[in-house]
Structure 1
């Protein structure tokens, strides 16, 4: 039997699926004749490593005619599937992002390409073959409906520019400060119900639909499943189901892989998901949009820890697609890009900006209830609003009494087993440790020998209990980490929610009370001001247009900015302070951890670089150390290269008896925050 004819490119360049930094390069293999037809760029492969001693999984990134390696090449062992799951665009993104973050491309590809689901993949391949390797596009009626989607917070001329790919990429990147209010979308054809959601989020979906109508794909990345459900519901009103690919892991591996495969199809598709959606494949990508980029959920926790916003910036630079960063409050990172002229700022007219009224500025010193947790002014607003509908109270912490302190000296009560913080999770429960769960019986305070304890701040459960007694007949709902509600029915309802867990109500809340503001602002974090602005504006956006929004216990510049609708100006002042003090995002940062010797060796090449300064190392426990490196953006490539070289050297050192603990994370948003161990009660 004659052997199959080989193509002119018999050499495969393969990215090994391995976190080892020494394998973070394309390895060359010869393609055997039997696999020539299936060995296409983007497919999963199995290849030999260490002279065939073991087999490794990987991705065929490219085929070339001649190898760069002078020795004898081994052959690919197997092509796992004909599905070309790693597109050239995503492979380039992974490489650039890894180089910028001193990480490995395979770590990013592992986040971008979900685990294979064999049955779903085979069905998808069969369906694609039936359609000539492409999926069906939008039909004329779907295109017409999508093209008419209304965008209300972005001027028409900028909308046209964002959709028109003939416009230069520099003209198609915007930072949108969305008004903090709700909008109503028409009833769904599925259930006949209208949809209420923040107007900024609705506009991103409408902008994406118009991008699809113009023949291009779009990506929308949101912080969590709550926002994602809203985006999916809004998209269902503008686009057919097969034009939307949901790629989050929240619905299970099978559904995520099905959405990922749909995104691979060569047709306009709206790809929606959380932070990893930015790395999804998209045919003729026309737009990437990120909602609320300041939310810490957009910061990837898995190595190499690249933020979704940075991935979007890299992908925009590579593809030339439109870039939209939208939120109720601008992040400091976006403010920096606006000041550089990289992003065009779009802000609502002053009349359209939500005003949040600080009770500290509205009550005089003669009011005996002004300094209560819920001042008399807020009580009156809640009482009046309950006659018309639901009232939202945002609180700082979940639970009953989240943190206990000594009633005499104020020292935090600590667990005798692990030294963790102690609190009461629910009514009538015994105090217990938040870390290990151990019961914490009464014991003398180590500092003053006092035996009395008191809570520092009531949690969501205790607040709800107290309000239930104060407003008999009203329904009381708690929404926090343990009890989540996406949406509640309208009516006489008190909702007590922790920040980020506030449910929607059709038509909006009749009043919103923002409690514990002073405690939230006391958090020892570099980002505390922008975080508080984001939490409070996001909650205020859930109020009806004429409802009062009251901020309790906060005065000063933050309160004034919320009262006057000048939060963008406050973020600009924050950025100016950080620029003066050399804090991110005015500069970049890298956190280096490991043993004291590992950290010291890794930092040595950085000591002579201008625009680079090192804080530490400091002791982080037995045998552990940490240092923070601050560096100018122009030094980013140098710092990343030196740290990556240190990681490779540590991983391949022959003299070591144990695995290296050296780690480097660039642009960690929590690098300058107080650690959990030292956090105040």
Structure 2
């Protein structure tokens, strides 16, 4: 049994067998530099390699009876791994059947020596605390403030308006709500971390915070920053001063002194889902962190996700409705008294409203996709038209001419629908650029601007103009849009996904919330329950019905699902062990690619920890097992086994 000092470290490695604390002896020359939270370099016995590692804790002795290897060097003696961040990373990785080091790689940015030296020389003055927190407007007086003080989990209904700040900047009312909540917490000398989907939301939130708190108390951390700036912001967050940390999905892992609020805006947005292993959603990480602390947790969105609705129904999160009854004026063209024939892309009523509204200010036109070429569907059954050669989508070239495949260029001559045997095509979606050209001819005296992934706009002024934007790229308008046209709704709903209806309702709601008070919002081509939910602004009720449907079918989030990918033999062995867990059923396997197969494991929330541990054990077994050599062949790599808990790509 080795005596200390001993550093228990987590090696920064994607190998699942190294996802554990390893003991290393601290040599006398590094005794003053090694402390909990610092990054060090340690030897690995395999191949004489040196790896980076995090010191999680120091101990007086080790339980290991052999000779311990020594810590080789200290990368930086600044403690970057805070104890609460380590606990969060460990718990999130265990829930996702992954490695804690993968979580820490998202949470802690790469080191920049110059930024670290500048921070040491001048840590910076954090600025004064607010004298008192401003009342949080729009809800029952004192309701949200009481929840913040008691560390409550709350689902707030977002106010669907744009508001003007004292500085003259227009932002969504939701940004003001979160800014007021964070300022209220900061006034009590406690920190907040707020995760938003992208930089557009971040700009609005920072503008709202700038009106309430000292800007030096606000820390921004996101992928648009340079590496140096992001590292400096992270160092500022590790201090003892209470801060408000604002950023994208990884912000939920940010260090924060005396954490008082964790907030997630629009958790249903796909950008809140982490694509890198182990793929823990920002919502789940926020829930774990709230359990580990006494901080309050706030979910706020124009459209409540089905996952948050489940948490509300089981009583884990409390519903906090708006006090005021304002909502956008949504018109469903499918429910008009005299529906038009011919399938016009923009009905005449919406067209007339747009012509009148553009004389007063900007008009928003939301379309399904960027680009120019229209996508095609079968004229009879509306099935998306696919190339007979490669399966790619058929579209009309920008230069004109017959329809062809967007992937291989094969002409659509002689095309026949594989569903109904129809032979005629029709345009289902026209890209943003083509729409802008068509509207430019229809409104020759009006300016037309495009906002999409290639040409994103954050905001537009109050001057008359047509703003053609893809879903999710709508800029905020000063004073709100005088009219909003939501096109291509029928085509958006054709996407094959379990979440397609929820995503569409969220896209439409977010766009409708940008309208000026009383301005008409036209939803074209969509009716039914989802259209009614938008028109009556009862998204939580729609989420409750959607959850009930998924519960009957045992679909997420009524249950949890995990995808497991490996070779046929390895997958069969692993699934045999998983089937022994009560309440678990396995769907598949089915072939994917490269000779691999995928199975879906379905289980209840109560079995989540056991299933995650079993799948993690199978991943370790697959990574460490040795295959028997075959005569005349080079030894192959062991079969891998990939696990993704709560896989968002499952249909």
Report the TM-score when normalising by structure 1: 0.89
Closer/same/farther in 2, CA of residues 415 and 26 from structure 1, 3 Å limit: farther
Partner of 1:492: 464
C-alpha displacement of 1:415: 8.4
Aligned partner (choices 111, 119, 134) of residue 149 of structure 1: 134
SS at match of 2:130: helix
Closer/same/farther in 2, CA of residues 360 and 287 from structure 1, 3 Å limit: same
Is 1:412 matched with 2:385? Answer: yes
C-alpha displacement of 1:509: 0.2
Closer/same/farther in 2, CA of residues 486 and 137 from structure 1, 3 Å limit: closer
**In 1, distance between residues paired with 2:422 and 2:154?**
57
**In 2, distance between residues paired with 1:642 and 1:534?**
36
Aligned partner (choices 110, 113, 121) of residue 115 of structure 1: 110
**In 2, distance between residues paired with 1:653 and 1:389?**
67
Q: Are the aligned partners of 2:252 and 2:285 in contact in 1 as well (CA < 8 Å)? A: yes
Closer/same/farther in 2, CA of residues 42 and 364 from structure 1, 3 Å limit: same
Partner of 2:571: 599
**In 2, distance between residues paired with 1:305 and 1:633?**
17
Partner of 2:648: 669
C-alpha displacement of 1:427: 5.6
Q: Are the aligned partners of 2:138 and 2:323 in contact in 1 as well (CA < 8 Å)? A: no
CA RMSD of aligned residues (A): 2.4
Aligned partner (choices 563, 570, 588) of residue 616 of structure 1: 588
Closer/same/farther in 2, CA of residues 272 and 161 from structure 1, 3 Å limit: same
**In 1, distance between residues paired with 2:330 and 2:366?**
14
What's the CA shift string for 1:248-270, capped at 9, x where partnerless? Answer: 11122112111111111110111
C-alpha displacement of 1:163: 3.8
Partner of 2:632: none
Partner of 1:23: 18
Is 1:377 matched with 2:353? Answer: no
What's the CA shift string for 1:611-656, capped at 9, x where partnerless? Answer: 1111100122341211111100000011101100110011111117
Partner of 2:165: 185
C-alpha displacement of 1:513: 1.0
Partner of 1:55: 50
Q: How does 1:1-400 map to 2 (within 5 A)?
A: 10-50=5-45, 53-128=48-123, 136-139=125-128, 142-144=129-131, 147-164=132-149, 167=150, 169=151, 172-187=152-167, 194-349=168-323, 351-365=325-339, 367-368=340-341, 371-400=343-372
**In 1, distance between residues paired with 2:183 and 2:432?**
39
Aligned partner (choices 496, 507, 531) of residue 524 of structure 1: 496
Closer/same/farther in 2, CA of residues 446 and 600 from structure 1, 3 Å limit: farther
**In 2, distance between residues paired with 1:425 and 1:259?**
47
Aligned partner (choices 545, 550, 566) of residue 522 of structure 2: 550
Q: Are the aligned partners of 2:363 and 2:467 in contact in 1 as well (CA < 8 Å)? A: yes
What's the CA shift string for 1:182-235, capped at 9, x where partnerless? Answer: 111111xxxxxx111111122101211221121011011000111112222222
C-alpha displacement of 1:507: 0.2
SS at match of 1:301: coil
Stretch moving more, 596-605 or 499-508: 596-605
Q: Which runs of no fewer than 5 residues in structure 2 stay unpaired?
A: 628-634
**In 1, distance between residues paired with 2:444 and 2:296?**
52
Closer/same/farther in 2, CA of residues 201 and 295 from structure 1, 3 Å limit: same
C-alpha displacement of 1:80: 0.9
Closer/same/farther in 2, CA of residues 113 and 432 from structure 1, 3 Å limit: farther
Stretch moving more, 590-599 or 71-80: 590-599
**In 2, distance between residues paired with 1:72 and 1:541?**
65
C-alpha displacement of 1:405: 5.5
SS at match of 2:360: coil
What's the CA shift string for 1:560-605, capped at 9, x where partnerless? Answer: 2222222211110110111111111111110111222222222111
Partner of 1:3: none
C-alpha displacement of 1:523: 2.2
What's the CA shift string for 1:478-516, capped at 9, x where partnerless? Answer: 111222111112222111111100011100000011111
**In 2, distance between residues paired with 1:644 and 1:571?**
33
SS at match of 2:76: coil
**In 1, distance between residues paired with 2:47 and 2:429?**
62
SS at match of 1:300: coil
C-alpha displacement of 1:404: 4.1
C-alpha displacement of 1:462: 1.4
Closer/same/farther in 2, CA of residues 225 and 440 from structure 1, 3 Å limit: farther
Partner of 1:462: 434
Stretch moving more, 488-497 or 92-101: 488-497
SS at match of 1:351: coil
SS at match of 1:207: helix
- Paired residues in the alignment total 639
C-alpha displacement of 1:439: 4.5
Report the TM-score when normalising by structure 2: 0.93
Q: Are the aligned partners of 1:403 and 1:423 in contact in 2 as well (CA < 8 Å)? A: yes
**In 2, distance between residues paired with 1:318 and 1:237?**
31
C-alpha displacement of 1:51: 6.5
Closer/same/farther in 2, CA of residues 255 and 490 from structure 1, 3 Å limit: same
Partner of 2:630: none
Partner of 2:637: 658
Partner of 2:615: 643
Closer/same/farther in 2, CA of residues 561 and 405 from structure 1, 3 Å limit: closer
